[in-house]
Amino acid sequence: MGEPVLVMLVEDNADHAELVIRTMEDHRIANKIIHFVDGQSALDYLLRRGEYENSESNPRPHMILLDLRLPRVDGLEVLQAIKQQEETKSIPVIILTTSEAERDVARAYDNYVNSYLVKPVGFEEFSKLMNDLGFYWLGWNTNPHA
């Protein structure tokens, strides 16, 4: 793309967030990762509200990794808001969660999620998942330029 690759991580569990960030850095998947611990802050950033109004200092991400269980605004509500906005609907959103519940999977796809991944328990499996995810969405997949 010629520009730094920006990944948004929306994850309230500090251990999970650290694992995602460390794995992405180790595999050089993204040039920059912005981390939000709740759905409201993530939406404020994406929709350029409040402290995130300046589009030059707050660029839109190339990919969003979104947990389902979030404080303030639930992950499915965040997904729904992203996919309803013309400015953000083309950003790939990948649910990265511990929930394997069929209801959660169905609701995510009903709201146009691009992929739904269940976090593996083991570090090696998690690391491989993140590596494969990064190469697919940020390397092999072609997205429209926002």
pLDDT in tens, 112-129: 999 998 888 888 888 788
> What is the rounded CA–CA span in Å between residue 144 and residue 146?
6
The pLDDT, as a whole number, for residue 144 is 63
Which of helix, strand or coil describes residue 63?
A: strand
Dump pLDDT digits (tens) for 4-63: 788 899 999 898 898 888 887 776 766 788 999 999 999 999 999 989 998 888 899 988
Residues 41, 97 contacting (CB under 8 angstroms):
no
With 90 as the cut, is the pLDDT of residue 145 above it? no
- Buried b or exposed e, range 69-87, using 16+ CB within 10 angstroms: ebeebebbebbbbbbeeee
Q: Structure pTM? A: 0.87
Q: Which of 18-22, 103-107, 137-141 has the lowest mean pLDDT?
A: 137-141
Q: Residue 85 — left, alpha, or beta (φ > 0 → left; ψ -120 to 50 → alpha)? A: beta
- Phi, psi (degrees; rounded to nearest 5) at 99: -80, 125
> What is the rounded CA–CA span in Å between residue 56 and residue 105?
35
Residues 92, 99 contacting (CB under 8 angstroms):
no
Q: For residue 83, name the pLDDT band (cuts at 50, 70, 90).
A: very high
The pLDDT, as a whole number, for residue 35 is 96
Domains and CATH numbers, the chain: 6-140 (3.40.50.2300)
With 60 as the cut, is the pLDDT of residue 137 above it? yes
How many degrees, rounded to 5, is the angle at CA 98 between CA 128 and CA 35?
A: 75
> What is the rounded CA–CA span in Å between residue 20 and residue 94?
13
Q: Do strands 93-97 and 63-66 pair parallel, antiparallel, or not at all (unpaired)?
A: parallel
Can you state the angle between helices 75-84 and 39-46, rounded to 10 degrees? 10
With 90 as the cut, is the pLDDT of residue 93 above it? yes
